[in-house]
Every structure is written in C-alpha cells, then in structure tokens.
C-alpha cells in the first residue's frame, strides 16, 4: 500500500523526485538546505520517514562530495586540530547516528522528525549569527570541541538538517578564521558524517534504489546549475526562500504528526 500523498502512480512519484532533486541540488550549491526539499519529497512519494531520510541522504551525497572536491585547495584543520583527528571522530559519530536512526521505530521517528526539522529551520534561519554572538561571550577548549563535534556527527548521521551551519557555529567559538576559510573543512566533514551513515543505510537495506536514483541524477544536475546561478543570483534571496520553505515543511510535518496520533 502506498503511504504517500500522491496517488497518480509511479510516474508522478518519480517526476516529483526529479524536480525535488533539481531544486535540492541547486539550493545546496548556492545556500544549503536541500534536505528541506528532498526529504519531504521522499515522504510524499510514499516512502516511510526512516527510509525517506536514508534515501534522501544517499541521493544528495554526490553533491556534498562535489562541493568538497571544489574546496580541496582550502582543506585544513579547525582550531589547531588536524583533519586526521576530526575525521575519525566524525566517522564514528556518523555511524552511531545512522544506527540510532535504524533502531528508531517508525512511529517514534514520526514524532521526532517535526522537532528535528524545527531545529534545522531555526539554525538555517539564524545563519552565522549565533556563532558570532557566542564567540563574544563563550570560549571552549579543544577537548570540548572534539566532544561537540562527535555529538554533531551523531546528529548528522541521524538526520543532518543544517549540520554544516551547526558545525561552523561551534568552530567559531575557538577558531578565529574567516567563515570562508572554514568552508573546506565544513563540506569535507559533513561528507564524512553522511558517508559513514550511507554505508550503514545501504548495509541495512533501507535505501530505496529507484527513488534514490531519480533524485540523485537530477540533484547532480541541480548542483551544476546552482554553481552557475551562484554567479548571478544573490545568496540572501535564496536563503530567504529556503527559510520560508523549511518553515512550511516543518509546520506540515507537525500537522502530519498530530493527525497520525490523534
């Protein structure tokens, strides 16, 4: 039985995923937030939320890898901590987050997902401002940074919305570098957490390959188009669109959870 909200057959479902992938790839290339399109599209196409989250993560992964490759000349450590230290911690956190997702009953995830979307929406809307505000008031050590990085990687493996912004907000508490200088490490470590989670998702067999393929191909195209649009389209304009879209999606999933459990 199809649990999606679209009832026009497989062709309509795959058409939705192709369009969503194109939008998500474009958004990720310019301002981020592609999961706010990709994940709801998977649910609308009929996938259970856990499978939808896992499939969306795999589908959008090539885009983050491509971004990492684009930033390869800027790869560096954070706050004096080398990537050789940060990568294993991020890998471990991504694996744990993915396992937690796989162990979460579908009913429980239906209750959790609106709150995760709300957290991601607020983080995306705030942008770098919380990190800048905290940096003026809070200082953390490298040991604390490693613990927080591990926890963020768990979140990344479990859901991961706005994970890159969360990492940057924490890093600025100890690393005075310009945000652009941290972009390489951000994309690389987000890809690391996602990659670790993907291995778990594929091994568990929860990824829906037809839906993943439909979105992945168009997301790659969207990533290319987004890179082109980035030259002419103001990022703040797209960010405003992403914030509005994510707010609508979050409200929709709160309503969905309310309808499921009343």
Query: Does 4 reside within a domain?
Result: no
Q: What is the pLDDT of residue 200?
A: 96
| Comparison of pLDDT for 227 and 55, the residue scoring more | 55
In a domain, 5, yes or no: no
Q: Which two tokens stand for residue 219?
A: 């997301």
Q: Is residue 2 part of a domain?
A: no
Would 62 be classed as within a structural domain?
A: yes
Q: How confident is the model at residue 164 (pLDDT cuts 50, 70, 90)?
A: confident
Mean pLDDT for the stretch of residues 64-74: 81
The pLDDT, as a whole number, for residue 255 is: 85
According to the model, what pLDDT value does residue 244 have? 83
- Asked if residue 69 has pLDDT above 90, the reply is no
Does some domain include residue 3? no
Residue 196 lies in a domain: yes
Confidence of residue 1 (pLDDT cuts 50, 70, 90): very low
Give the pLDDT of residue 220. 87
Dist. CA 216–CA 33, nearest whole Å: 16
Number of domains comprising the chain: 1
- Which token pair is 196? 């670790």
pLDDT above 90: residue 42: yes
Average confidence score pLDDT of the chain: 83
Q: What is the 3-state secondary structure (H, E, C) of 203-224?
A: HHCCCCHHHHHHHHHHHHHHHH
Is the pLDDT higher at 130 or at 119? Answer: 119
In sequence order, what are the beta bridge partners of 78?
81
Q: Quickly count: other Cβ atoms within 10 Å of residue 1's Cβ.
A: 3
Domain holding 195, by residue range, is 10-261
What 3-state DSSP class applies to 81? strand
The tokens for 214 are: 């439909």
Does residue 130 surpass a pLDDT of 80?
A: no
The verdict on pTM exceeding 0.85 is no
Residue 252 lies in a domain: yes
Which has more confidence, 227 or 245? 245
Choose between 30 and 101: higher pLDDT.
101
pLDDT at position 139 over 80: no
Rg (CA), the chain: 18
**pLDDT higher than 70, residue 181:** yes
Q: Flag whether 126 is in a domain.
A: yes
């Amino acid at each position: 039985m199809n649990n999606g909200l679209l009832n026009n057959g497989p062709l309509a479902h795959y058409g939705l995923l192709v369009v969503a992938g194109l939008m998500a790839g474009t958004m990720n290339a310019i301002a981020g937030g592609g999961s706010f399109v990709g994940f709801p599209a998977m649910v609308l196409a009929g996938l259970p939320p856990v499978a939808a989250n896992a499939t969306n993560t795999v589908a959008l992964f090539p885009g983050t890898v491509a971004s990492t490759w684009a930033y390869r000349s800027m790869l560096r450590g954070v706050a004096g901590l080398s990537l050789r230290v940060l990568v294993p911690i991020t890998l471990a956190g991504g694996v744990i987050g993915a396992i937690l997702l796989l162990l979460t009953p579908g009913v429980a995830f239906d209750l959790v997902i609106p709150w995760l979307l709300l957290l991601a929406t607020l983080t995306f809307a705030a942008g770098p401002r919380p990190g800048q505000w905290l940096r003026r008031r809070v200082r953390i050590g490298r040991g604390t940074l490693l613990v927080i990085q591990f926890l963020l990687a768990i979140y990344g493996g479990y859901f991961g919305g706005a994970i890159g912004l969360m990492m940057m907000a924490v890093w600025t508490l100890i690393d005075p570098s310009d945000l652009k200088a941290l972009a390489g490490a951000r994309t690389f470590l987000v890809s690391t957490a996602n990659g670790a989670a993907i291995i778990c998702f594929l091994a568990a067999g929860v990824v829906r390959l037809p839906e993943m393929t439909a979105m992945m191909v168009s997301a790659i195209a969207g990533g290319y188009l987004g890179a082109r649009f980035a030259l002419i389209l103001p990022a703040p304009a797209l960010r405003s669109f992403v914030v509005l879209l994510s707010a609508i999606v979050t409200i929709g999933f709160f309503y969905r959870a309310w309808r499921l459990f009343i």
